[in-house]
Chain A
């Protein structure tokens, strides 16, 4: 069974790598993820400090780049997931696949698996490119400011990678569910992105109006994804520019468990719906 899913995943990659979309997205991801390195480098030229220096040199640059990659990656992975699934409905190729004895849940599982692997692969490329960028920026900047010690650790690199990769998974499940539900790329993409924005807006408004909402907010997808990504940070990147309450973020364990429930629930619903729904029309 697993071998069959792996074979389907391999052939999904055969199709996907011949499309422009994933390569354009990878380019965008790389450009944005390198911003932190180069902005820090230029900032360091005017005002040198150890913290700024660590932001564009190894190993400190990589967690920062992965954090930026995650921020834009959510949108990209939602768009890619909706496109990978929705086009099968639009081109009616799903019929040709299922009619030749390909199991439905195995097929959807192979797509989701590919998207998960692609998210991991893209982050690995971000790590590699950031490493090269950092070496160049470090060489251009010369040595570290005197009288200070490095604050970044190499151990932070795999932790940041694992966090970013895991945080993508519920968004893949979310986009997969809405795309299967609507059988449309555009609708799946739009609903997933609206959900993402609406959730944070609702949380921000309600948290300022009602203290009891904090409990409900602690089970929201976006809030737990942010909590998961910023857990363990000395200065978590939590901003609320308008001021006001933003509540307390859940713990890392809480966030992990909630994200896992979202992955299983949305992924399970997508598989269930995909299995039972008729594929009508030529």
Chain B
């Protein structure tokens, strides 16, 4: 097993009758980008808040960068950079002064870091301007610079592309890959599934505070493989395939049959159909997207979170 930078054990947070995080146990190995996914209200932000020492868990424990939460969370957090969903800085201070202040209280980097970080996030020319005059995108960029102060080993990024234009979003994705390539671990919380799919190696999917799935994106998607096919008798083929125990569902899409089954069992599928007189005209594995996978495993929760009727 790889070295873990974060492990939670039965982490639980209850707000009165509401169970925001329910016995959450996740493991984040060192290096790479780990995605925390879930519909609104699934417990992502509460989990991040617990890990960042902002919210006390009702029960459960976690280890951060090898340190026990009871005694070493504060010390561990000195090696963790974080971005909250909405950037929070002192409005009357300039971008540079804000970074100087946070650098001062963290006490883990030298003054050259600030200029380097301002350059990296493209704020050098506006570093002297007050934070209150920044656009949403500039505020988000300053958040990224803040998170990187002190050269942290672990980064918690909660919706880091919020407020950025498409070019800015692409830059941030590239930056996340770059940071991961430098050996840092990034824990990314995002509702933009294509963003997660592009940058994350592993994900944990939460729903109603519970862990639904965890693993590499590749492994998770393979569990939900599908085969698209066209036959001489689609009605009969659908009936035959539905009877197979390893085919979970058969649907029709754009004139093709979609059988939800592991693509590596395509041969068995062809044999079963041929055995009952149905010839396969065309067959291809279907790559399930993370979005489709996400919607399937979260089911009604994601729809209700969007205010839709299931």
Which residues of A are in contact with B by a Cβ distance under 8 Å?
A: 7-8, 10-11, 14-15, 18-19, 91-93, 95-103, 276, 278-280, 282
Which chain B residues in 141-157 approach chain A with CB under 8 Å?
146, 149-150, 156
Measured CB to CB, the residues of B under 8 A from A are 45, 49, 52-56, 74-82, 84-86, 88-93, 97, 100-102, 104-107, 146, 149-150, 156, 158
A282 touching B105 by the CB < 8 A rule?
no
In the complex the two chains form, is B93's CB within 8 Å of A101's CB?
Answer: no
Docked complex Cα distance between A278 and B102 (Å) = 21
* Contact assessment for B105 and A18 in the assembled complex, using a CB-CB cutoff below 8 Å: no
Partner of A280, one of B55, B89, B90, B100: B55
* Given contacts A101-B77, A103-B74, A95 and B54 within 8 Å (CB-CB): yes
Contact partners of B150 in chain A: CB under 8 A: 100
For residue B46, which residue of chain A has the nearest CB?
A: A280
Beyond contacts A18-B92, A100-B102, A278-B49: 13 other A-B pairs, Cβ-Cβ < 8 A, are A18-B93, A18-B97, A92-B86, A95-B52, A95-B84, A96-B88, A96-B89, A96-B146, A99-B52, A99-B156, A100-B81, A100-B149, A279-B55
Selected from B52, B77, B80, B105, the residue in CB contact (under 8 A) with A11 is B105
Q: Which residues of B contact A279 (CB under 8 A)?
A: 49, 54-55
- A11-B104, A18-B97 given; A100·B86 CB < 8 A: no
A residues less than 8 Å from B80 (CB atoms): 99-101
Counting chain B CB atoms within 10 Å of each CB, the highest count among A7, A98, A99 belongs to A99
Task: Check A101 against B75 for contact (C-beta < 8 Å).
Answer: yes
Distance in angstroms from B19 CB to nearest chain A CB is 15
> Cβ of A98 and Cβ of B54 under 8 Å apart?
yes
Say whether B77 contacts A99, CB under 8 Å: yes
CB-CB under 8 A from B56, the residues of chain A are: 276, 278
Contacts known (A19-B92, A280-B54, A282-B45); A96 close to B86, Cβ less than 8 A: no
Q: Which residues of A contact B45 (CB under 8 A)?
A: 282
Measured between beta carbons, the chain A residues less than 8 angstroms from B75 are 101
In order of increasing CB-CB distance, the 10 nearest A-B pairs are A101-B77, A92-B88, A101-B78, A99-B52, A279-B54, A11-B104, A282-B85, A278-B55, A282-B86, A99-B82
Determine the residue in chain A with the shortest Cβ distance to B55. A278
22 A-B interface contacts by CB (under 8 A): A7-B105, A11-B105, A14-B101, A15-B90, A15-B101, A91-B90, A92-B88, A93-B90, A95-B88, A96-B88, A96-B146, A98-B53, A99-B84, A100-B77, A100-B81, A100-B105, A101-B80, A102-B105, A103-B74, A278-B49, A279-B49, A280-B55
Q: Which of A92, A96, A100, A280 contacts B78 (CB 8 A)?
A: A100
